[in-house]
A and B are shown apart, each in its own frame.
Chain A
Amino acid sequence: MNHERATALVERYFAGETTLAEEAALKDYFRTADPVAEELKPYAPLFGYWEREARITAPPARRRRRRLPRVLLALAAALLLLLVVRGVHRMYAPPLSDFPVAERAPAVDWSRHEIKDEEEAMRFLRTVLNTTSQHMTRGTAITLRELRKADQILH
């Protein structure tokens, strides 16, 4: 394309009368003409824009790191902490043999001696609670009597 034709197309371009093919020819002119006509130089950046922009490529997409939800992380941390605490506790806990009473007392099976009948249970409870109540009353009475004696001595 010669300079005159290019100048004419530029005028038509700004008048909005160019076809797509003419616009493509204009872009081609500004890309390949060397040198560009003096009066058309101010327009060179405008038509070179598309070529420049076409060379721009998007940066590679950053892969988002997958992270576990915070709740799960906290749960894992809490569990780990508990395991550590438990481990330390067991490490320093005295062995069972340090509790002779606990070892000496095997599990006692009371089921063989359990009262299953309600009336029998009621009779038994009446007797045993009556005996206990008498002992408790007598024990309290004697304690109070001794306290009164002590009070008399002190005053």
Chain B
Amino acid sequence: MKYLIALLLLLFLAPASAQKKAAADAISSYFGEYVDDERFTAVYVSGKMFALLEDAQFDLDGMDEKEIAAVLEVVKDLQAVRVLHTETTPLTFYRQAKDRIRTDAYELLFKVRTQDGQNVEAFIQDEGATIRELFLLVGATDGFAMLSFVGEIDLSKLGQLQKALE
């Protein structure tokens, strides 16, 4: 009997948890109108592509096996990568974007402003100990970009990637 009730409760609660998991990424949530804006370049790589990459054989100019392996190591736990980029009034877009991020949903990881006028803000959205999304806002005089990585993010792997790609 108790198993029956537990099963019913599970069925009852399942749609709610499924909705939570299907929550939109930061770009879709706050900047959806820019995706089809002609001033922006939008690029999307889906989880399906990451699965295909694992089995693919590459013969790319400028990329050796070590670099490919390093990229695959990072993307193997990702579900999607989304990028929006524009060179039109980048600093205006950057300022507007900063005000839209809801701090109760995203936690500011760091904020950097360099002497050459480049601004970077990194946000994370976590579920317990797991980072579910890494979201970067990059604003400079020559461009504005938003980068969203959804999946199980391992920040240490991202840090190590730079060494492999150098």
Contacts and interface: CB of A to CB of B under 8 A. Distances in A.
A139 B161 CA distance: 15
19 contacts: A71-B4, A75-B8, A85-B12, A105-B28, A105-B30, A108-B28, A110-B82, A112-B36, A115-B43, A118-B53, A118-B56, A123-B63, A129-B74, A129-B161, A131-B147, A133-B158, A135-B112, A137-B159, A137-B162
B91 interface: no
A24 interface: no
- The bracket for how many chain B residues form the interface is 35 or more
- The bracket for how many chain A residues form the interface is 35 or more
Interface of A: 70-71, 74-75, 78-79, 82, 85-86, 101, 105-106, 108-116, 118-119, 121-126, 128-140, 142-143
Interface of B: 1, 4-5, 8-9, 12, 24, 27-30, 32, 35-36, 42-46, 49, 52-53, 56, 58, 60, 63, 67-68, 71, 74-75, 81-83, 102, 109-112, 114, 120, 122, 134, 136, 138, 147, 149, 155, 158-159, 161-162, 165
Contacts of B56: 118, 122
